[in-house]
Amino acid sequence: MATYRLDLAYDGSSFHGFARQPDLRTVQGDLEAALAPWTGSVGTYVAGRTDRGVHATEQVVSFTCEPLDTERVVRSLNAQLAPEIAVHAIREMDPGFHARFSATGRAYRYRIHNAPVHDPFRASVAWNLDVPLDSEAMDACVKPLVGEHDFAAFCRRQGDRSLVRRVLWVGWRRTHEDIEMSIGAQSFCHQMVRSIVAVSVEVGRGRLAVADVASILRSRDRTTAKGAAPAHGLTLVAVSYGDDELPRPGWIPETS
């Protein structure tokens, strides 16, 4: 038996998230169905399970099966899964490799189209907001989130699991009518990124002060945050393993 790493990208608009669900179309369901002629019925494991509507430019899946002709399988998968899913590569890994548990970091991007009129060509990948947003205040308000904290105020609790996470960087920038957040961490809890976006937008609209975000973080109270931003503006953009450094955007300084 061999262990494989599969790198893929997908437009999440038509999927009910990554994880397989009965009677619903998911990325994992489509991927495993396309793999089945080559691998039989195998379970796949993913670096980060994305919610309904969330996209990925760099997602990683692992699985174990009999040895494969990886180039033929990549061609077959892309023929079956296009245009919504693209498989970039499949490569054999050491037996202990696991897409989720071997990962050392993940990075996400969130995009807002901040204009009076929506852009139909960005409607599936950016949250359109027609109210003016102060992107500099949004950037300032998220700085206290860098480091290791209990993110209970920003996460949907799942049983007794710890919500302590280490954020490596986070920042907002504006480019004309587009506002973009980049965030990198060792791992994320459920709805963490979209909740940070929602609070940032409240600051950008002037409904919260910059200092309020640090207070919300310290409260560890989910009711103090402002829900979660729409899923379709969120994209998983990188996963790191081993000694590989998680790629940080050049516009975010090392101290952010």
94 has catalytic annotation = no
Per the listing, tokens 């480019």 go with 175
Residue 130: Cβ within 10 Å count: 11
H or E segment to which residue 198 belongs: helix 192-204
Cα–Cα–Cα angle for 128, 132, 135, rounded to 5 degrees: 90
Find out whether 6 and 61 touch, Cβ atoms under 8 Å: yes
Find out whether 77 and 87 touch, Cβ atoms under 8 Å: yes
Q: Residue 13 has which token pair?
A: 């608009």
Distance from C-alpha of 239 to C-alpha of 243, rounded to nearest angstrom: 12
**3-state class of 203 per DSSP?**
helix
State the catalytic residue, choosing from 11, 23, 30, 51: 51
H or E segment to which residue 9 belongs: strand 2-10
Residues annotated as part of the active site = 51
